[in-house]
A and B are shown apart, each in its own frame.
Chain A
Amino acid sequence: MSDLDDFKATYFDECSELLTELEEQFAAIEAGERDADRLNAVFRAIHSIKGGAGAFGFSALVGFAHAYETLLDYVRDGRVELSDDVVVLCIRANDIVADHVKAAQTGDALPAEYGLDEKARFDALARGESLAGEDAGGETLDEFDIEFTPVMVNLDALSEAADLASDTFEIAPMQPEAGHWEIRFTPYRALYARANDPLLLFRELAALGEMQVRAVMADLPPLSDFEPFAVYCSWEITLFSPTLTEAAIREVFEFVDGDCDISVVQLGAEGDAIPTPMPAPIVIVDAETARLRTQEQDLMALADDEVSELLDFSPAPVAEPVTRQDSFEEAPGPSFAELAAAIEPRPVPERVAPVSLNKPVTAVPAADSEENGARSVGVQSIRVDLDKVDRVVNMVGELVITQSMLTQQMDETLRARYTELVRGLEVLAQTTRGLQDSVMAIRAQPVKSVFSRMPRLVRELASKTGKKIKLETVGENTEIDKTVIEQLSDPLTHMIRNSADHGIETPEKRLARGKPETGTVRLSAEQAGGNILIVVEDDGAGINRERVLQLARDKGIVAPDVNPSDEQIDQLIFAPGFSTAEALSDISGRGVGMDVVLSNIKKIGGSVHVRSWTGKGTRMTLRLPLTLAVLDVMLVKVGESPYVVPLSSIVETIQCSRASFERVPSGERVLQVRGEYVQVIDLAQRFNMAGESQHEDRFVVLCEAEGSHKVALVVDDIIGQQQVVIKSLEENFERVEGIAGGTILGDGNVALIVDVQGLKATIVHKNAA
């Protein structure tokens, strides 16, 4: 059934959000923030998961969630203390809930005993036993199973339910137990205060059988003594049906139980002599008449002049629902507004409602509902399919290209001739830019969603390695493009594993080195210009450079005669084919090395830089683009070919003569920029382009690579700045060292995007070769 499938999809979506929320909340709870808000949020999450699960008949999930929820409820009201043990148990329970959700989604059954142990512990805790008494076992489970029986929602019943929407509906008669019943019903004020209405009760009773109602109005005071909130009327009702039971009658009064005096007495079984129920009963044909009759009776008890006075009150919120107070102004009759103000809307005047104005309470003019087009006021966000957003992003990308192409077409003569057109193009450029920013903002998400998974990872790692590790997160509200975020989880996991596994030392070692016993892994995110920097930092031992270099030499990544700098050695851990993981433990490795991190990050246009201090720690920095789709670049020429350099990495551009370049003894060329020697990379040479440029004057694009190291890229011409839409080279061709991707320029030419970080990183290998 497709409706059901839709609901399920919604449900599983919601579950994944709730599970993320749980993880976040427990990360904070574990850190000691055990306030009521967090507990309530956790409770609500489990409660919602359970609620939906019940509707779909995922009974295993309902069962577990119910036990969990019960415990949470006890924790909330202080009956159970939220000790560290309980927190650990809850975190484990979150996993079990997640597994149940997954099982429900995929249709795979979990082993029957899955989670039973934890459930038993919940039950034990809820009974006031300590966690130590874990032997509680099966009986409590049975007890619970009886307690909560999920009911499958039958969507087929909807069409029948729809019929019930009409005013007539019937409640199936209960067991055949013949009889006449007498009901005495005296409502309290509270009954009206909760918007219950005797009339509706009568209507329901009338559906059970043949009914007679008599209003008892002995207590009705003269109008002058009438108190709006007071209750003066009670009713005596006889009801006949051969199949009527007391339970059926009581059910009608279910909602008003406690808000009225009620007695239900069976007068006699069928065939018995039926005593005359009440003097002069009013025979009720239907509920509506019942209503009129009760009102009539009320009215008759009043003096004539008082009645006429009452009639003037007609629009007072009696038949008209009081919720419509604001519509009085529009209603005919000049005194309505005053009356509405003068008479406080009260439920009690029901009984004095004039007959003539007895229109249905629920009348909602169709036009009214049309006018109020906004259905769900107060809902401030909408959910949009990511595909749709991506389509918009793509089209905006194309629009950016078209716009820049148009701008390029405008040469000086055209500019002079068509000033209006030029102005229009400028506006277009601005608007396009704004549009692009807005679209990107739609896709932006806080990195929190990824960061929140990490505390758990660190916990696991700590317990596996026997180390003491705490995780600090900073800047988790920093926003990045959703696509980038999705690609971030694996690399981050890997980096943190690396820190926990290789970086942080065992508690003994740390103490011996005079460090605090607990190691710290710090995860931070910040926006820096057009980039997001994500830093994973630890206060561990730092990279073992000797070992890294040895391994790199063994694996032929670094030639034996090359002596890389410390920094270059650090960077080696990202080199393809280099992984010390397998040799050291089973945690970081899992078959892939840090080079996977690098290639993943590169795929999304980012870069990784590592810096290490022996004995003090390691810092790994991920530099990520704010967005994937569009890049601000500088268009340059190398030989006759266009290249683009990401604007975010450019520090400045310099024009200088060939003579300014100097050679250092190692043969590398350097350029002195304000007293600082900067490594020079001639792009023509680097990309092995035929025929070196003969220009005497060269342009230098000074770029900043990771770790604030500068690189001077030598190009033949600088054309200008523009925006380009990035096209992956890997997807369309293959990965090229030193190139981050390709793009199509406004004039239709293809330009390659220079990978500044990549160029710098390959220098070590090049030298080695």
Chain B
Amino acid sequence: MTILRVLTVDDSRTILAMLHHTLSNAGFEVLQAEDGQQGLDVLKSQDVDVVITDINMPVMDGIEFIRNVRASGQYQSLPILILTTETSQDKRDQGKAAGGTGWIVKPFDPEKLISVIHRVVH
């Protein structure tokens, strides 16, 4: 079985740690970045299979990050999941408009997280 590589982008160490735990236990390889800019930097040097990103982040927020990823041409078919606690539809719609593939609602259930990833990755 191939190992899927996930890039997690979140400014909260707690969330990054929990994602890391959940994903690595599920057999994913996990990369981390603390904001959108760092996320882009990671993508420049490493191949990833799926991205999970927060929306509210300093330096470069998730919306801009997704826009940048999609604009780069190279990553048009890279699945990007938006992490959101927003109960309102707003952020989700913005994220989708920017090119987000799907979303995960925080706080996430590990099982649900993994199944959502499989929903967008081959």
Contacts and interface: CB of A to CB of B under 8 A. Distances in A.
A86 B106 CA distance: 28
A533 to B, nearest CB: 33
How big is chain B's contact interface, by range?
Answer: 35 or more
A379 B13 CA distance: 12
A364 B47 contact: yes
B32 A51 contact: no
Given A44-B11, A148-B87, A200 B57 contact: no
Which of B32, B33, B106 has the most chain A CB atoms inside 10 A of its CB?
B106
Interface string B43-65: 10111110000001110000000
Given A41-B58, A157-B111, A48 B33 contact: no
Q: Chain A at the B interface: mostly helix, strand, loop or mixed? A: helix
Contact of B14 (A3, A14, A159, A366): A14
Contacts of B102: 196, 254-255
A689 interface: no
Given A44-B58, A364-B2, A317 B77 contact: yes
Contacts of B120: 195-197, 200, 255
Nearest to B113: A161
A55 B14 contact: yes
A345 B42 contact: no
Contact of B76 (A3, A164, A346): A346
A162 B27 contact: yes
Contact of A376 (B5, B42, B106): B42
Contacts of A40: 56, 58
Nearest to A162: B26
A154 B21 contact: no
Interface in B99-122: 99-103, 106-111, 113-115, 118-122
A324 B49 CA distance: 10
A177 B21 CA distance: 38
A394 B91 CA distance: 50
A197 B58 CA distance: 31
A51 B33 contact: no
B17 A7 contact: yes
Contacts of B99: 193-195
A171 B2 CA distance: 22
Most chain B CB within 10 A, of A255, A327, A368, is at A255
Given A193-B99, A369-B29, A153 B34 contact: no
A624 B103 CA distance: 52
A362 interface: yes
B12 interface: yes
A360 B122 contact: yes
A760 interface: no
Contacts of A419: none
A119 B106 CA distance: 22
B15 A379 contact: no
B14 A379 contact: no
Contacts of B56: 40, 43-44, 47-48
A557 interface: no
Contact of A323 (B11, B18, B48): B48
A375 B28 CA distance: 13
B100 to A, nearest CB: 6
Contacts of A369: 3, 5, 29
Given A255-B102, A369-B3, A155 B45 contact: no
Interface string A12-55: 01100000000000000000000000001101100110111011
Contacts of A51: 12, 14-15, 85, 106-107
B85 A54 contact: yes
Given A161-B22, A322-B74, A323-B74, A362 B49 contact: yes
B75 A323 contact: yes
A345 B76 contact: yes
A344 interface: yes
A255 B11 contact: no
B115 A171 contact: yes
**Range for the number of chain A residues in contact with chain B:** 35 or more
A325 B17 CA distance: 30
A153 B27 CA distance: 19
B26 A158 contact: yes
Contacts of A68: none
A330 to B, nearest CB: 13
Contact of B79 (A10, A148, A195, A364): A195
A387 interface: no
Interface in B68-89: 70, 73-80, 85, 87
Interface in A169-191: 169, 171
Contacts of B31: 375-377
A150 B118 CA distance: 24
A323 B78 contact: yes
Contacts of A225: none
A342 to B, nearest CB: 14
Given A155-B110, A169-B118, A194-B99, A48 B75 contact: no
A372 B45 contact: yes
Contacts of A7: 14, 17-18, 21
B107 A48 contact: no
Contacts of A325: 74
A494 to B, nearest CB: 34
B79 A379 contact: no
Given A169-B115, A195-B76, A360 B46 contact: no
A11 interface: yes
Contacts of A108: none
B118 A344 contact: no
Given A7-B14, A200-B122, A54 B106 contact: yes
A571 B57 CA distance: 50
A195 B107 contact: no
Contact of A324 (B47, B96, B109, B122): B47
A361 interface: yes
A376 B33 contact: yes
Contacts of B115: 164, 169, 171
A505 interface: no
A358 to B, nearest CB: 11
A200 B119 contact: yes
A193 B80 CA distance: 11
B81 to A, nearest CB: 9
Given A47-B85, A204-B119, A161 B114 contact: yes
Interface string A285-317: 000000000000000000000000000000001
A640 to B, nearest CB: 57
Contacts of A47: 56, 85
Contacts of B118: 164-165, 167, 169
A327 B74 CA distance: 12
Contacts of A372: 45-46
A347 interface: yes
Interface of A: 3, 6-7, 10-11, 13-14, 40-41, 43-44, 47-48, 50-52, 54-55, 147-148, 150-155, 157-162, 164-167, 169, 171, 192-197, 199-200, 204, 254-255, 258, 317, 321-325, 327, 344-347, 360-364, 366, 368-369, 372, 375-379
Given A161-B25, A200-B121, 10 more contacts: A47-B85, A54-B85, A151-B107, A154-B110, A158-B26, A192-B76, A197-B122, A344-B73, A372-B46, A375-B31
27 contacts: A3-B21, A14-B13, A44-B11, A55-B18, A147-B87, A152-B107, A154-B110, A159-B25, A162-B27, A164-B118, A171-B115, A193-B76, A195-B79, A196-B101, A196-B102, A200-B119, A204-B119, A255-B101, A321-B47, A321-B77, A322-B74, A361-B49, A364-B29, A377-B33, A377-B42, A378-B38, A379-B33
Q: Nearest 7 CB-CB pairs, A to B? A: A378-B38, A255-B102, A378-B41, A361-B122, A52-B14, A55-B107, A11-B14
Interface of B: 1-5, 11-15, 17-18, 21-22, 25-34, 37-39, 41-43, 45-49, 56-58, 70, 73-80, 85, 87, 96, 99-103, 106-111, 113-115, 118-122
